[in-house]
Each structure stands twice: as structure tokens, then as C-alpha cells.
Chain A
Amino acid sequence: MSRIVHKFTRKVPHWQPRVTPVKLEEATEEQLDALQVTPSNTKVSDYVLTLAHDVESLKVRSPLFNAIMYDPGGMSRAERELGAIGASMVNRCIYCAAVHADRHAKLEKDTSVTEELFAKGEKADLNPRNRAIFDFARKLSESPVDATPEDMAGLREAGLSDEEILDLILSAALFGWANRLMHVLGDPVRHEVPA
């Protein structure tokens, strides 16, 4: 038995596709290449197998994702995760929010920020820098026209450099993308062990 998860959580659920993923044994050469399947790496998630239906997009998406979230310089990794969490909460992508809240907590070695966010949403009690980052990510995610010059000024007042602001824009925008795949193409589920 499995049930759909509707509440934000740091405990990462299972992702169940709403469409039929590509079957690995039926994948084309181009799909196998994009999936990076090798004889020593044959474990591919249902999510990636679903995206393999559009192999041209999948191939360019992974390097872009990794560069935005992990390339050195600019904003800290934890703060990029906060941008991702802001977008994922707006779009109610329970799966993305869980993965990135878990990463944020591990990077910060502290669960308090994500606990506060999941409990109180936009009314969460955050320090001024996290407040400015989360608010900007949230508004940009609601609609590209919702973020204002005042929100941008807030980022500068909180001490963010141009490079950091660019990384925040990129990480929040990237989850505008990721949420529209994860939340749209599948359900976050928890498998229940029968009693």
C-alpha cells in the first residue's frame, strides 16, 4: 500500500510517475547515453527514466542543474538550497521541498530553518539574510512580475553581492523548472508496511 504525501516534510518520499517511464531494456542509444547507463551503473530512477521520453532536454538539463546548484563561488550551497525550497513551497512540490530541505539541514548541520519554514510558511521567523533570500525566491516563483525593486534592494541590504544575487535568481528559477516536472509528472508517495 502507498499513500500520497500532502504535507511538507524533510523525510524524502518515493516518487511515483503518472506516465509510464521509458523501459531501460527498450531505451535507444541516445537515451542510454543521456541516462549515463554503463555496465557498472545500471540503477536509474523512475524520474530520470520518465524524463528520457524527451532525451534532448534530459541531456542538457543535468549539466545545467549541477552547475547552478554546485559550481564553486558565488552564493553558498545552503543558500542556493533555500532558493530551491522557496520555489518548491510556492509550487507545492512536496518531493523537491523534501530533498532540498534535507540537503539544507545537512549542509547547515541544523534543522531549525527548514522546520520553521515548513511550520509557518512565509510567516517563518528567519534571520534577516535568510528572510531576504526566501522572500525573493518565493515572489519570483509566484510570478516573474511579483518580485519588485524593493525585494532586490532587500537582498543588497542583507549583504548579498551581485554574484550571490545571480546565484539566487538561478537557483529559484531552476526549481521553477524542476517543480514543473516533479510535481506535474508524478506523486510523492510513502509506502506503508502492512501491519
Chain B
Amino acid sequence: MSIFDSTTLKAAGIAMGPVAAAAETRAKIMEATQAAENAVLSPRDPGAFPHDLRAALAARLATAGGEPALAAHYLDRAGAMAALADPMQDGVAEGFGTVVAFFDKAANRTRDIAAEDIAALQEAGISDADIVRLCELCAFMAYQLRVVAGLRLMKGEAA
């Protein structure tokens, strides 16, 4: 697969020109970014978070982060969980209220996360392994969103 078929470069609209040339010098990183996306969005062992829920949460962050193309990519895969892609939905009706509240705070108010937030997940019956899985999904999305936003700014400048 060409790096220009990766989610990150496609969502940022990078296909040719000086930004594409710079991305080619970091092809290994672009490939590893796609591998990381596959590992958090569609892992073989999804734990308590099936692939459609992961895609919905990813779309949720991309929407809140102002990247509609990236959000659309994930919303396509959100299936029955698509309602959670809307940042205004709290996930309570779907039985994921605690998960969604934590996910939004870890993504968007990271500095405010404290030990109590992890304890609340544990008290809600979420296993330590699933807490780590949830954090990895949130953390990867924070990374990918910022790479897409940065590349888009680069392209605007180089155009």
C-alpha cells in the first residue's frame, strides 16, 4: 500500500507537492501510523470495546477536533454505535456513559485527569486491561488528529 492511501494522508488531503515529498522522507513513520491505527481500531482482541464502538469514539474525537474527513472515515465503520460519534451524545442510552465521559475527558481535558477518574472506571466494573485499551484508542486518536491538522496547515502554507 502506498503511504498516500493511508488514512492520515488521505484525511489531510496530501497526494502531491512539497508536503507529499516531505511525507515520503518519513514513509516508515506513515506506515507505522497506519499499523497503529489498525491495532487500536480493529484489534484481534478488542476486549470490552468492539470495532464499531471504537470507530464511533474515533469519529467522535475527529468531529470535536474539527477534522470532518477523518470523522467520515471512522463513521463509516461505526455501524450500530454511530450515535456515539456525535459529541453531544453522552452514551448513557447505549450503556457506555462512564466510558464516554472518561474518553472525552482524557482526550480533551487531559491535564485534568486524576486518580479518581481511573478509580471510577474500575468501580464501574471495567477491567484494567480494558482501561489500557481505552486509553490507547484515545491516545492514538489524539496523535492522528494532530498529524492531520498539522499536515493540513502545512499544505495551506505551501500551496
Would you list which residues of chain B between 20 and 48 have a CB under 8 Å from chain A?
21-23, 25-26, 28-29, 32-33, 35-36, 39-40, 43-45, 47
B131 touches A19 (CB 8 A): yes
B156 touches A152 (CB 8 A): yes
Q: Is B19 located at the chain interface by the 8 A CB criterion?
A: yes
When chains A and B are docked, how far (Å) is the Cα of A174 from the Cα of B29?
11
A176 touches B139 (CB 8 A): yes
Q: Which listed residue, B106, B153, B154, touches A184 by the CB 8 Å rule?
A: B106
When chains A and B are docked, how far (Å) is the Cα of A15 from the Cα of B32?
27
B29 touches A170 (CB 8 A): yes
Question: What are the residues of chain B within 8 A of A177 when measuring CB–CB?
Answer: 139-140, 142-143
When chains A and B are docked, how far (Å) is the Cα of A184 from the Cα of B138?
11
Q: Is A73 located at the chain interface by the 8 A CB criterion?
A: yes
Would you list which residues of chain A between 157 and 193 have a CB under 8 Å from chain B?
162-163, 165-170, 172-174, 176-181, 183-185, 187
Total count of chain A residues near the partner, CB < 8 A: 57
B118 touches A184 (CB 8 A): yes
When chains A and B are docked, how far (Å) is the Cα of A131 from the Cα of B142?
23
B32 touches A60 (CB 8 A): yes
B128 touches A53 (CB 8 A): yes
Least CB distance, B123 to chain A, in whole angstroms: 13
Answer whether A54 and B129 are a contact pair too, CB < 8 Å, given A92-B111, A170-B29, A184-B106: yes
Q: Is B65 located at the chain interface by the 8 A CB criterion?
A: yes
Most interface-central of B21, B47, B110 (chain A CB within 10 A): B110
Overall SS of chain B's interface: helix
Most interface-central of B36, B44, B66, B150 (chain A CB within 10 A): B150
> Which chain A residue shows the least CB distance to B149?
A144
Answer whether A145 and B129 are a contact pair too, CB < 8 Å, given A60-B32, A174-B143, A180-B138: no
B138 touches A140 (CB 8 A): no
> Which chain B residue shows the least CB distance to A166?
B22
B111 touches A144 (CB 8 A): no
A173 touches B150 (CB 8 A): yes
- Please name 11 pairs of A and B residues whose Cβ atoms are closer than 8 Å in the assembled complex, sorted by A: A19-B128, A20-B128, A53-B128, A64-B33, A67-B29, A165-B154, A166-B150, A173-B144, A176-B139, A177-B143, A179-B110
Given contact pairs A57-B39, A149-B157, A184-B118, a sample of 11 additional A-B residue pairs in the complex whose CB atoms are under 8 Å apart: A53-B128, A54-B47, A56-B44, A57-B140, A163-B25, A165-B150, A166-B154, A170-B147, A174-B143, A177-B142, A184-B110
The list of the 5 closest CB pairs from A to B, nearest first, reads A169-B150, A180-B139, A144-B149, A173-B146, A53-B132
